[in-house]
Amino acid sequence: MQEDATVVVAGGGLAGLVAARHLADAGVDVRLFEREDEVGGRVRSDRTDEFTFDRGFQVLFTSYPAAERELDFGALDLRTFTPGACIARPGERSILSDPFRDVTAFTDSLFNREVRLRDKWLTLRLRRELSNTSREEIFEGPDRSIREYLRDYGFSEAFAENFAAPFYGGITLDRSLSTSKRVFEYTFRALSKGSIAVPAAGIAAIPRQLASRAEAAGAAVETDAAVESVDATGTAGSGSATVSLGGETVDADAAVVATDPKSARDLTGVEAIPTAARSCVTQYYAYPALKRLDAGKRLILNAGNADPNHVVDLSAVAPEYAPDDTVLLSATFLGERKESDAELEAMTREALAGWYPEHSFADLERVRTERVPFAQFDQPPGFRERLPGVRSPDGPVSLAGDYTGWSSINAALESGRRAAEAALEDLQIRP
């Protein structure tokens, strides 16, 4: 084992924070540099006097194995959504639920007219099949688009359009369902095993917890510190890495590049790092809590058109997000939208008025707009085969980031651990 080994981690998103913690746990001297003034990367929240605004609508799947391993769910004080969704179109709302997990909505679901009885039966069959399918079988089997997969499985066009497009479009940020079916299968399976949730203090409680754990293990986490270059010399087992940032040069025995995909490509030159983006805009609105929507803690899916794709009463799910007397709604639009904030708000008002003709939304107030140009990397069929591995760069440099697996919190957390293991292997340290 190398004495007093030093590893630099570039980037303090979920992947970098997990890598830093595992390296520090193994006794390595770790310095993590994060370009922004806070850690978290794509998982950030802003807290005002009244509201918590996550930077884009985002949820934790509680059955993600890496999340269970890396996070303390109890300390995150998770607030869970009700399984299933409310499907809405002008003049109509209906509940589609998971009968195994929300028995109260069983009858509503059974008589839901948006999807056919055969689709409900196929959903249960798929649920059973996928619960017996391993992660490897999902990620390594033949691939095609979600739309083709659903059609080949026998689901109706109505199921694809009225439920899968807004629901899985919301997960993949791609309502056309052209994303790899592997993402569908993995998230469908995760949803039948667990819940979706947000921490009471906002989604950024996740990276805050990871940063505390990394620091408690001995890692130094430095913000406002942009890494400009990472130069490796020698081979993976016996080399070194020189990292430069703002006039300072840090010599290390190994480095982990845990930046967003574009920066990672610039820093390492690894061409296989995917940079095509999926974008979204989330707008937040407040109104008096006297008039809550009856969807409760369920997502409201827009089956009428794509704008917005989905709406949720976040304050019903996590009352801590807003004052007691106020509802905080979030509406998510897919893509990098050219419309102004006011135009997006007008679309939400029109959708809500159609879905809830009995409500007046006159006192609805737009309180925030979050535009997220790079939320996920694009995941068309066959994307996995083209991704870089953790060990793709030359020398003692490893990659950590969702783009080494698939675009998710789970893959980011998992990649951090794998990159730390690769660095420890370079340093001949056993984890």
Ligand X SMILES: Cc1cc2nc3c(=O)[nH]c(=O)nc-3n(C[C@H](O)[C@H](O)[C@H](O)COP(=O)(O)OP(=O)(O)OC[C@H]3O[C@@H](n4cnc5c(N)ncnc54)[C@H](O)[C@@H]3O)c2cc1C
Contact pattern for ligand X over residues 124 through 163, marking x by CB under 6 A: ----------------------------------------
Closest CA to 230 of 270, 285, 194, 198: 270
Q: Shortest Cβ distance from residue 254 to ligand X (Å)?
A: 17
Asked if 396 touches ligand X (CB under 6 A), the answer is no
Closer to ligand X by CB, 145 or 263: give it. 263
Q: Which residues pair with 333 in a beta bridge?
A: 281
- What is the Cα–Cα distance from 357 to 85, expressed in whole angstroms? 19
Number of residues that bind ligand X (CB under 6 A): 34
Question: Helices 409-426 and 14-25 meet at what angle, rounded to 10?
Answer: 40
Among positive and negative, which fits the CA dihedral 227, 229, 234, 236? positive
Contact pattern for ligand X over residues 213 through 252, marking x by CB under 6 A: -------------xx-------------------------
Do residues 287 and 327 lie in contact, with contact meaning Cβ atoms separated by under 8 Å?
yes
Asked if 409 touches ligand X (CB under 6 A), the answer is yes
The torsion of the CA quartet 307, 310, 311, 316, rounded to 10 degrees, works out to: 180
Q: Note the Cα 391 to chain centre separation in Å.
A: 24
Asked if 397 touches ligand X (CB under 6 A), the answer is no
Closer to ligand X by CB, 145 or 404: give it. 404
- Name the 3-class secondary structure at 148: helix
Closer to ligand X by CB, 227 or 352: give it. 227
Q: Shortest Cβ distance from residue 128 to ligand X (Å)?
A: 24
Asked if 375 touches ligand X (CB under 6 A), the answer is yes
Q: Shortest Cβ distance from residue 118 to ligand X (Å)?
A: 29
Q: Shortest Cβ distance from residue 388 to ligand X (Å)?
A: 13
Contact pattern for ligand X over residues 9 through 48, marking x by CB under 6 A: -xxxxxxx----------------xxxx----xxx-----
Go through 366-384 and write b for each residue having 16 or more CB atoms within 10 A of its CB, e for each that does not: bbbbbbbeebbbbbebebe
Asked if 407 touches ligand X (CB under 6 A), the answer is yes
Asked if 412 touches ligand X (CB under 6 A), the answer is yes
Asked if 384 touches ligand X (CB under 6 A), the answer is no
Maximal C-alpha separation, the chain: 70
